[in-house]
Structures are given as C-alpha cells and as structure tokens.
Amino acid sequence: MYRASPLFLLLTLFLTFSSLPNPSTAATDTFVYGGCSQLRYNPGSPFESNLNSLLTSLVNSATTTSFNKFTIYSSTQQDVVYGLYQCQGDLSLPDCGTCVERAVSQLGIVCSSSTGGAVQLQGCFVKYDNTSILGVEDKTVVVKKCGPPVDYQSDVVSRSDAVLNGLASEGGYFRVGGSGEVQGVAQCVGDLSGNQCQDCLSSAIGRLRSECGAAAYGDMYLAKCYVRYSTTGGHSQGSSGSSSSSDHQNQTSKTLAIIIGMLALVALIIIFVSFISRAIERRSGGK
C-alpha cells in the first residue's frame, strides 16, 4: 500500500494553509466599477504592445509611489497610449502595489481589446486610453450608492452634513474627516490641478447631499474624484480606513503565527511517528 512521505505531507499542509485568503487585502481589492471604450485594437498591433508596456510601468511604479502617470509614444498618433493609477492616500505602498496589480489584471478581463478602460477597486484606480486623459477634469458620475434612509431627526443627518462640509473645505487631494459615528473620505486623481480637484470634489459632495441626503451611508464616484461617508459599521470605509488596515495587519500577523505554530507541531509529530515506525520495522526485522 502506498504511504505518503513525511515531506509530502508537510508540503501539502503548507500549501493548504498558504492558500488561505489574506485579510489585509480583502477590503482594498473590492471591485467598485469598470468601464471600457467601444473602440477595439487588433491583436498583435503596435497599440497592444504599447498598452502592455504602459500597464507594466503602472504595476512597477505602484510599489514606490501611490500615484503616477505615463505616456507611451509611437510613430503614429493612433498607437499612443496614456495611463495613470492612484491608490487611496492612507494605503501603504506594499498594499498599493498589490491593489494596482489586481486592478490591471481585472482590466485585461473587463476591457479585453478595448482602446480605453478604467477599473476602480476600493483601494486604487487604474485608467488608460488612446486619447489624452492626463490633466483632464471629468465629473461624469460612474457610481452612486446610497444606504438605507435614517430618521431626519437623527443625529446622523447633522453629523453627515458636518463631515461633508469638512471634506469640502479641508483642501488637498486626499481628505478624511469624522464627526461622532460618521466618517468620511474624499480623493481626487493626482493629475488634476488644485482648482480642478476642488471643483470635482465640490460637485461630488453636492450630488451626494442631494441624492443620498438622509442615508446611513453614501458613495459618489465621479470619473476623476470620489466622496464616501458612512456611519459606524456602515457599508463605506471613511477615515477609519487607516485603523481598519492596521487591524487587518494585526489579524494577518496572528494568522501567520498560528499557521507557523501548527506547521511546526505537525512537523514534530511526523518526525516522531516516522521514528517510531522505523524502530518497529527494525525490531520486526530482527525477529
């Protein structure tokens, strides 16, 4: 009868445990939206080669900076590719790199053979096109989500309004704020000017107020900026994103410690059983 070797058993256990999902990336990898151009490029064309170079540059850059933009030039204008990525401002660089890599891989699925495409994950945004998108303000609504309504007399309504006022006046490309149980976050894509960023966020906040006025949470994603707010335990992540990331990292460390401890215990048991088996075989062979 076939008997698995101790090394094989240990390797099997290791692969099983290492395939468990990493909780630190679960939230940042959540898919928010994707959009693609109707125009297509031909497989094997210069545009496809340039696009692959662009996407590789985006992924490589995301491990060192949370925003970057690239242009891949060509001998013909139709084969020029423009692209950018951006991670949420409180995301660590390792998580940023992972998020952008996943967004790019989803672009290949969602926008296969399209000359333009964009994917927004919870923690990062990636976009490319064959026409210049860099420095161009775009206030097109791409995603709107409103939570269940709350009582107009509730403290949540006044606190939500205070958070949105704070986000509107704070300044900067990445903004967080909170009032009691309500937390909020806002961000512009880094290729916009300061005035363009403020204009985009003002528009997003105005739409969020009018369309999700008395909701428990609200998400408003425009093409070049977004605003989100939520109550404690709500759907959206606000300024608590940093602490959530820390909690995820702590949970990951605990999970890894448990896995390492279990693997060590299993290894000792396998060695012990193997030793006993050999001793019994020698004793049986000596009779």
Q: Please report the pLDDT score of residue 1 as a whole number.
A: 42
Q: Which tokens go with 159? A: 């606190």
Q: Which CATH superfamily is domain 21-129 in?
A: Gnk2 domain, C-X8-C-X2-C motif (3.30.430.20)
Specify which residues 114 forms β-bridges with.
40
Which residues of the chain fall below pLDDT 50?
1-25, 235-259
Output the six-digit token pair for 64: 């060192």
Tokens in use for 269? 């048991």
All CATH 3.30.430.20 domain ranges in the chain, comma separated: 21-129, 141-241
Specify the pLDDT at position 40: 96
What would the pLDDT profile of 108-121 be if each residue is shown by its tens digit? 999 999 999 999 99
pLDDT computed for residue 213 by the predictor:
77
CA-CA distance, 158 to 211, in Å (whole number)?
A: 16
Give the Cα separation of 253 and 233 in Å (integer): 24
Pair type for strands 31-36 and 67-72? unpaired
Q: Give the model's pLDDT for residue 276.
A: 75
**Residues facing 287 on adjacent strands:** none
pLDDT at 46: 97
pLDDT for 11: 38
The per-residue pLDDT for 246 is 35
What pLDDT was estimated at residue 131?
Answer: 95
141-241 folds as Killer Toxin P4; Chain A (3.30.430)
Q: What is the reported pLDDT for 217? A: 93
pLDDT at 111: 96
Cα separation, 10 vs 175, whole angstroms: 47
The enclosing H or E element of 263 equals helix 241-286
